Amino acid sequence: MANTALPRKMAAANGARRAAAFSEWSDRHFKWLLVAPAVILILALSIYPLIFSLVVSFINYDFQIPGHAFVGLKNFRQVVFDPVARWSIVLTAMLAAANVTIEFLLGLILALLMVKHFRGRGLFISIFIIPLFISPVIVGQAWALLLQRPFGPTNYILSQLLGYDVKISWLTESPWLYFAIIAADVWQWTPFMFVILLAGLTAIPQNLYEAAELDGVGGWRAFWAITVPHLAPMMLLAITLRLLDTTKLFDTIFIMTGGGPGTKTYTASFYLYTVGFAQFHISMATAGSWIFLVLTLIVVTFLVRRLLKAEQTA
């Protein structure tokens, strides 16, 4: 330590004045300097493209139609009057609701079962969190492998268990294909809920429960009186984060059903991808994504404001 400190002191003495001035300046703007790198990066790679895409959505930017003329609301009109677009929004909302609900309940049950220490708990946690580390593209393929006729073993196993010949086309038959898509999403993201909720549960002071027990309050009543209020911020956090992501559901759809059969599994993101990158109607896709953006903003603004409030009062 001593032999490195000496040269440093000398160097400091040499440029003392400049350093002092700089240090004063940097201390004065300290809080803004800290946020600068992140804000600049986000502005450059997120806000600027967004503005650009807003411009694009009012002009013709379609590879098959030459020129970039201003077309007013034509691109938006094309999206709004496309029945596939409307369906994709509905489906996205329904899948988001189903996915997040199931993941939340399952994650909560698992977290409740795991909150107390027991032998092998670490191993269980290790296994449970594995899906979080896997690309959704791969998750989609893993489930497709499991379900796809005639390769997948699912129907065989079900036939053995149920005692009759199960012939379900999991990836092309309604309503089963929705189960397949939800299963893949639940598989991947329940651990996320679980991890956050478990952390929340662990943080609830045990003596609250002991006190309740002494008062003769246990079981469900303790759950509603102690667990739920204490866990509420964590629940809101987990649900918000998952909702943000599940509205973007794309990769598993892309692999498992390709949007089919028909347009039954077109989510908003898959629809926009198809319009933008399979059909190359770029301006129509960006107009569509602005509509989508505004819709999600409404939902998320509400949720995030609640979340920030909960955070600040907690």
Partner 1 sequence: MNSRQRRDFEAGLAADVDAWLRGKPTRREFIKKFGQLTGMLAIGGGILPAFTQHLLAQAATDLADPSTPLGQAQALAVKASTEGPTDGSAYRATQAAKQYSGITINMTYEVGLQALDPRNFSGPLWEQLTGIKSNVVELTNPDQYSKPVAEHIAGSGAYDVLDVSPGWTPSLADGGVIAPLDDYIAKYMNTADLEDYHPLYRALPTYKGKVWGFFDDGDMFALYYRKDIFEDAKLKEAYQAKFSKALEVPKTWEDYAQVAQFITDQMAPNVYGAGHFRKAGNPGNQFDFLQQFRANNGEFFNNEMKAQLASDAGVKTLQNMIAANAASIPGNNELDAVSLWVAWLQGKVAMIYSWPPTGRMTAGYSQSDKAINFVPQSTIADKVGYAVVPGNPEHAAGYNKALAADSSNPDAAFLFMQWATSPPVSLARVMLPYALRDPYRLSHFKSELYGQLFPTAKEYLRNLNNSANVGVLDMIMPGAQDYGLSLDRMCTAVWAGADPKSSLETAAAEWDATTERLGVDSQRAFYQEFLKLPGATAANTVEKLGMAVKLD
Partner 2 sequence: MSAAVTRQLRRRHRPTGIGRFLILGLFVLFVLAPLYWMFITSIKPSDDYLAVPPVWFPEKPTLIHYTVSLFAYRGLKGLINSLIISLAATFLSALFGSLMAYSLARFNTGGKHLSFWVLSQRFLPPVAIVLPVFLIYRYVKLHDTHIGLIIAYTVFTLPVSVWMMYAYFRQLPRSMEDAALVDGCTRWQALWRVALPLAAPGIVAAAVFAFIACWTEFFFALVLTSRDSFTLPTVFRAFIGFQGALYGEASALAIVSLAPSIALGILVQRHLVRGLTLGALRG
Q: By the criterion CB under 8 A, which residues form the site for partner 1?
A: 62-66, 78, 148-151, 167, 169, 171-174, 257-264, 274, 277-280
Please write down the long-range contacts of 166-171, taking CB distance under 8 Å and 24 or more positions apart: 171/144, 171/147, 171/256, 171/257
User: Tokens 């649900």 sit at which residue?
Assistant: 239
Q: Contact between 59 and partner 2 (CB under 8 A)?
A: no
Q: CB under 8 Å to 146, separation ≥6 — which residues?
A: 152, 153, 154
Q: How far is the CB of 264 from partner 1 (least distance, A)?
A: 7
As a whole number of Å, the CA-based R_g of the chain is 26
For residues 48-69, b (16+ Cβ closer than 10 Å) or e, as one string? eeeeebeebbbbbbbeeeeeee
Q: How far is the CB of 61 from partner 2 (least distance, A)?
A: 9
Choose between 156 and 223: whose C-beta lies nearer to partner 1.
156
| Torsion-angle region of 258 (φ positive above 0: left; ψ -120 to 50: alpha; else: beta) | left
Choose between 233 and 276: whose C-beta lies nearer to partner 1.
276
Choose between 149 and 264: whose C-beta lies nearer to partner 2.
149
**Residue 262 interacting partner from partner 2, partner 1, none (CB closer than 5 to 8 Å by kind):** partner 1
**Residue 199 interacting partner from partner 2, partner 1, none (CB closer than 5 to 8 Å by kind):** partner 2
**Residue 286 interacting partner from partner 2, partner 1, none (CB closer than 5 to 8 Å by kind):** partner 2
Q: Which of 52, 223, 224, 302 binds partner 2 (CB under 8 A)?
A: 52
Q: Contact between 302 and partner 2 (CB under 8 A)?
A: no
Task: State the Cα–Cα distance between residues 221 and 217, nearest whole angstrom.
Answer: 6
Q: Contact between 30 and partner 2 (CB under 8 A)?
A: yes
Q: From the CB of residue 169, how many other CB atoms can be counted at a distance below 10 Å?
A: 15
Choose between 215 and 311: whose C-beta lies nearer to partner 2.
311
Residue 21 Cα distances to 7, 17, 24, 37, 305, angstroms:
21, 6, 5, 22, 41
Choose between 71 and 198: whose C-beta lies nearer to partner 2.
198
Q: Contact between 109 and partner 2 (CB under 8 A)?
A: yes
Q: Which of 10, 117, 162, 313 binds partner 2 (CB under 8 A)?
A: 117
Residues 124-153 that bind partner 2 (CB under 8 A): 124-139, 141-146, 150-153
Q: Contact between 16 and partner 2 (CB under 8 A)?
A: no
Q: Which of 168, 173, 233, 264 binds partner 2 (CB under 8 A)?
A: 233
Helix, strand, coil tally for the chain in percent (to 5): 75, 0, 20
281 bridge partner residues: 62
- Identity (one letter) of the amino acid at 187? W
**Backbone φ and ψ of 70, nearest 5°:** -70, 130
Choose between 71 and 255: whose C-beta lies nearer to partner 2.
255
**Backbone φ and ψ of 59, nearest 5°:** -120, 175
Choose between 94 and 138: whose C-beta lies nearer to partner 2.
138
Residues 169-188 that bind partner 2 (CB under 8 A): 187
Q: Contact between 118 and partner 2 (CB under 8 A)?
A: yes
